[in-house]
Structures are given as C-alpha cells and as structure tokens.
Amino acid sequence: MGMTMVQLRVTLLSLLLIAFCVQIPVLASTDSEDELEDLDLLELDLEEPESSASSSVSSVLTLAQQKRALIHLTDDTASSFFASKQHVLLLGYASWCTRSAELMPEFAAAALLLQESGIPVSFAKIDAAINQRTASIYSLKGFPTILFLVNGTEQKYTGGFTRHEITVWVRKHIGIPVTTLTSVVEAEEVLNRDRTTVVGFFKKFEGPEYQAFLDVAMKEDETEFVQVDDMDLAKVLNLGFQRQPPFLSIIKKQPETYVPFEGSFDQRSISWFIEANKHPLVMKVNHHNQLRLYASPIKLHVTLFADDDSSVHLLPLFYEVARAFKGQILFLMIDTSDEELSRPILMLYGADASEAVVTAFNYADGSKYLLEENITLESLQLFCDQLVSGTRKPHYKSQPIPSEKENDVEIVVGKNFESVVLDTSKDVFLEVYTDWCVKCDAANKAVSTIGKHFKDFSSLVIAKIDASANEHPFLQVDDYPSFLFYPADNKSNPIRGPKKWSTKKLVQFIHEHATLPLTSHDHADKDEL
Ligand SMILES: *[C@@H]1O[C@H](CO)[C@@H](O)[C@H](O)[C@H]1NC(C)=O
Ligand SMILES: *[C@@H]1O[C@H](CO)[C@@H](O)[C@H](O)[C@H]1NC(C)=O
Ligand SMILES: *[C@@H]1O[C@H](CO)[C@@H](O)[C@H](O)[C@H]1NC(C)=O
C-alpha cells in the first residue's frame, strides 16, 4: 500500500512547518541573537558545496564572514539606514525560526558574491520579532521575509532563497541584467555550474538584436544572463560553431545541457524561448524530488498523469496554464508507466491510468480535486481558477451508483452515501469494508445473512460500502471491517458496532439501536442464523 491520505497529510504538514515560521507572541530577549547564531552553526553544513570555480565565496561561510557581510539593524537604526541607501536587501528574521537560520548563510553568501563583483547593494538583517516597530512598518509577519528597498521605499522581493537566486534577482532589479564574460575561466565556470544560464554571443554589444536580448534579460529575473563578444570564449561555451553571431542559447544542468535558440532575434521570441526552456514549468515527479516538491511553499499542486503518447498533446496545454498560474500552483507530471510512483497516488482519487488524468491536492488543508471534464485548455484554466479562488468542490472517490441490491444488502458508494445512509426516514446499518482487509470476507457474508434476516422491514436498511473505492466526508473510519448504525433521528453520530462481532451479536446490536418499530419475527428467524 502507498501512503494513506492521513499519513500523506501528516508528512506534508510536518514538512510545511519547517518551510516558514509565522509570528507568534515573543518575549523580547536580548539573548536571542546568540540563539540564532547557534542555529546558524547547526545548519551551516546542510548545503552541498556548489561549483564556484571563479568565486572566492566558499559554499560554507564562517560566522565571522556572515557577520561582516550583513549589516545588523534595529528599530533605532533602520529607517535612517534605509533612507541613506539607494538599494537595500533586508532580511527580516526571527531568532527562534529554524527556517530563518537556514536562509541566513545563503543570504550572507549572496551579499559576499555581489560585493565581490563590486555591485553596490547593502545587505541588512533585522530581528523582526524583537524590532516590532520596523516589523510593523514593513509588514514583516512571516519569517524569514526578504524586502527590497529603493531609496527607502519598499518593493516586493519575488526571488528565490538560494544565494544564486538572490544574486540573480538583485542584479536584475538594480539594472545590471547581464554579466560580460572576459576569461576562459569564467566561461568554463558557466559551462560547469549546476544552474541555468542564458548565454548571448554578439559581435558588438549594440544594435536592435542586442537590445532585444537586453530587454529580455532585464525582465527575466530568475535566470542569470551572460554575454560574450569573443570567438574563443564562444567556443568554450559551444556557441556559434556553424553560425555567425548573434547567437543565443541556454546552458543548464543535465540531461538537457544545451538548448540553442533558433528563432528570430526579437524580444518576443527570445522571451518565449527562455520561458519555455529555462526550467521545467511542469516538473516531472520522480522518487527523488517527490518530498522536496511536497515541501514547496506553493501548496496547491496540479498533477498530470499521462504516458508518453498522451503527454505529447497534453503537455503544451499544461505549459500554457502553468505559465498563467506560476507562483500560485505547482504543476507536476507523473509518468503513468512508472506504476510504483503513479498507482498509489491515483488510488487516492479512485482513478486509474488507462487515460490521462489531472488531479489537484491542496497541502494546506489536505483536500483533493479531480478534473472530471475532458482535458482541454479551457477546462484546465477553469479548474485552476476555481482551485485558486477556493470555489472548486473537493473530490471524493466513488464507484458508479449500482442499479440493484446485492443479496438484500444495499450497496453504498460515495455518490449515494447521502441519499441512502443519511436518509432520515430510515434506520441504517452500514458495514464498512475494504478490498484488502483480511476479515472483510467473513463480515460480508455475515452482512448478507443479516440483510436476508431483515429484508421485510422497510424502515431498516442493511448496507455496505467499500471504503477502498468510495469516500464521503462524513465517513470517518480507519478500522476494517467496521459496523455503524445510523439511527433515523440522529445521523450525525453513528453508533459503533461490536469489535468482537458475530452474526448474532450484530443482529442484537441492530435491535438495541433501532429507533423505528421492527415487528419482530425473532423465533422464526433464530433458526435461520
Ligand atoms: C534613488 O536616489 C538616487 C540618488 O539619490 C537617484 O539617482 C535614483 O534615481 C533614485 N531612484 C529611484 C527609483 O527613485
Ligand atoms: C469528451 O470527449 C469525448 C471524445 O472526444 C466526447 O465524446 C465527449 O462528449 C466529451 N465530453 C465532454 C463532457 O465534453
Ligand atoms: C445523537 O447521538 C449521539 C451519540 O450517540 C448523542 O450523544 C446525541 O445526544 C444524540 N443526539 C440526539 C439529538 O439524539
């Protein structure tokens, strides 16, 4: 079995807890700075060293380096500092928040990387749990929060939380969108780094084609852009072997290392090319990244389950929608030929892999959704709109409503649970079983006998539901088989049947709890049991 819903949710929520800290009442303490530094030490060696051949900023910073890289602000110093600087990147942290401690070394490393390149941005930090005046002026509520201040005016920081994501974002927002490579060492570093880089090769850094490149570089604030005007460097970067500049490509991590741009050199085409290629807009889920994806601060996940054939025409739709909902929804794709990965998840939705399926899960509240319409651009867009606005109805899995009883036992599925079980004109006895529980076969047999026994009493319904294929928000059972009695006058609290059951005990249980008159045929029936 894969994870149950409950396990999945618990796992995810515990992962989410470490993703962000929220403001809680804090007893101001001047010691907390020390606590943070202790945390820093603990977290420092978590990150694997990244390739940084041309940089002297090591992957792991000492506390002294961190201290030097960041200006430490308080309520007394913050506003005058902001007013005096053209560009400040501010980290609002809380000393008790582990996530703050994880970010701090990356933030400091970003500061050092930019200092090293002579880029004039001040990196500052403030304990926003203690310096509440500044925290309230700048709405520093969740921790950690990064703010960008231009001449004292705050702007939203929309970048990522690794050193490179931070530096790329800052470069773009202070008007240095492209780095010029001037040495083979620098070019080799770009080729070998483990992150995406857009490379432009131009005869001269001027003219309309170059301007188009520059405009895109300015807008695209997640990806680093570099440029060369030297054939030798271009060769190091595999650029322009057969072609004359201008030439553009994306260099990224394996397996798709190198994507050359084939379009015409205008802003729109370049922009589109980079959007489509810089990183998977739709991320392919595998056994390694699964947990990391669950921990994403984006809690709404929409997943396409498809095989190679159907992804060919469905992925382009998915890309288009993914672009529109970037930052609100994480778009994932699971290859249904990997059954070990796809089956347990599809089972949660009562779906199978015979056709492409689109599902959604909200990790904030554990609700799940299924796109029941045909997969089209319109239906996907509507699905995502409804998810984001909270108007989509959650999905509960259900088999089709059966047309008739089985051996005098009413078959309940997700879709008829309300009309059968919650019918206030009837007492209802419900067996909850699953297709994998060992003792359920015996229980099913007993319930058939009970169904026959009571078949003449129209006020009493004997029913069963396969909980592995059907769900209802009111059905909360995690022990199989379970026997529940829903009195006609009180549907909200079903009475649990005996754990040590026999056919006879169950009949007794029904007699005890029936609220509508059962004219008894007790002596006649005893022989039957
Ligand atoms: C910030 O101030 C500097 C110098 O005082 C000025 O050159 C720059 O244009 C200002 N930036 C903005 C966005 O107001
Ligand atoms: C879905 O597509 C199938 C075949 O393309 C079509 O027969 C069916 O009517 C469609 N269903 C809806 C709800 O549009
Ligand atoms: C419904 O049943 C529950 C549990 O058996 C009981 O506590 C509650 O008082 C009942 N409510 C009514 C209105 O009878």
Asked if residue 288 lies in contact with residue 232, where contact means CB atoms within 8 angstroms, the answer is: no
Burial of 37 (0-12, 13-18, 19+ CB in 10 A): middle
> Tell me, what amino acid is at 352?
D
**CA 489, chain centre distance (Å):** 43
**Closest CA to ligand 2's atom 5:** 374
**pLDDT (tens digit, 9 = 90+) per residue, 222-268?**
889 999 999 888 888 877 556 678 889 888 765 456 778 888 899 98
Per-residue burial over 193-217, b = 16 or more CB atoms within 10 Å of its CB, e = otherwise: bebbbbbbbbeeeeeebbebbbebb
**CA 384, chain centre distance (Å):** 14
Closest ligand to the CA of 490? 3
In a domain? residue 403 = no
Pocket test for ligand 3, best of 493, 512, 513 (most atoms within 8 A of CB): 493
Separation of alpha carbons 519 and 522, rounded Å: 9
Within 10 angstroms of residue 466's Cβ, the number of other Cβ atoms is 19
The alpha-helical segments, DSSP class H, found in 325-376 are 339-348
- CATH number, domain of 61, equals 3.40.30.10
Asked if residue 516 lies in contact with residue 487, where contact means CB atoms within 8 angstroms, the answer is: no
Domain boundaries, position 199:
178-277
Dmax over CA atoms of the chain, in Å, equals 103
**Of the residues 228, 257, 277, the one at which a domain ends:** 277
Same domain, 184 and 223: yes
Same domain, 187 and 153: no
Same domain, 120 and 65: yes
Domain count of the chain?
4
* Ligand 1 atom closest to residue 150's alpha carbon, by position in its atom list: 13
Is the C-beta atom of 151 inside 6 A of ligand 1? yes
Q: Which of 26, 71, 218, 437 is catalytic?
A: 437
Asked if residue 91 lies in contact with residue 49, where contact means CB atoms within 8 angstroms, the answer is: no
* Catalytic residue flag (residue 21): no
* Catalytic residue flag (residue 440): yes
Same domain, 165 and 217: no
* Ligand 1 atom closest to residue 151's alpha carbon, by position in its atom list: 1
Asked if residue 300 lies in contact with residue 329, where contact means CB atoms within 8 angstroms, the answer is: yes
Same domain, 296 and 243: no
Separation of alpha carbons 37 and 70, rounded Å: 13
Is the C-beta atom of 86 inside 6 A of ligand 1? yes
The predicted model scores a pTM of 0.52
In a domain? residue 11 = no
Same domain, 273 and 217: yes
Q: How many helices (H) and strands (E) does the chain have?
A: 19, 20
How far, in Å, is the centroid of ligand 3 from the Cα of 492? 8
Q: Which of 36, 78, 88, 97 is catalytic?
A: 97
Pocket test for ligand 2, best of 374, 376, 379, 380 (most atoms within 8 A of CB): 374
pLDDT in tens, the chain (529 residues): 334 444 444 444 333 333 456 654 433 333 444 444 433 333 333 333 344 444 667 777 788 888 888 999 999 999 999 999 999 999 999 988 887 888 899 999 999 999 988 899 999 999 999 999 999 998 888 888 999 999 999 988 888 888 988 999 999 999 999 999 999 999 999 988 878 899 999 999 999 999 999 999 998 888 899 999 998 888 888 775 566 788 898 887 654 567 788 888 999 889 878 866 665 678 888 765 666 567 666 789 999 999 988 888 898 899 889 878 866 888 999 999 988 889 888 988 888 888 899 999 998 888 999 999 999 999 999 999 999 999 999 999 999 999 888 888 999 999 999 999 999 999 999 999 998 888 899 999 999 999 999 988 889 999 999 999 999 988 988 889 999 999 999 998 899 999 899 999 999 999 999 998 875 544 444 444 4
In a domain? residue 396 = no
> Tell me, what amino acid is at 348?
L
Same domain, 521 and 463: yes
Asked if residue 165 lies in contact with residue 222, where contact means CB atoms within 8 angstroms, the answer is: yes
Strands (E), 111-262: 122-127, 145-150, 153-156, 178-180, 197-201, 224-228, 247-251, 258-260
**Closest CA to ligand 1's atom 14:** 151
Burial of 375 (0-12, 13-18, 19+ CB in 10 A): buried
Same domain, 157 and 25: yes
In a domain? residue 46 = yes
Burial of 468 (0-12, 13-18, 19+ CB in 10 A): middle
* Catalytic residue flag (residue 97): yes
Same domain, 437 and 469: yes
Burial of 472 (0-12, 13-18, 19+ CB in 10 A): buried
Sheet holding 178-180, edge to edge: 178-180, 224-228, 197-201, 247-251, 258-260
**Contacts of residue 228, Cβ cutoff 8 Å, sequence gap at least 6:** 180, 181, 187, 199, 200, 201, 202, 234, 237, 239
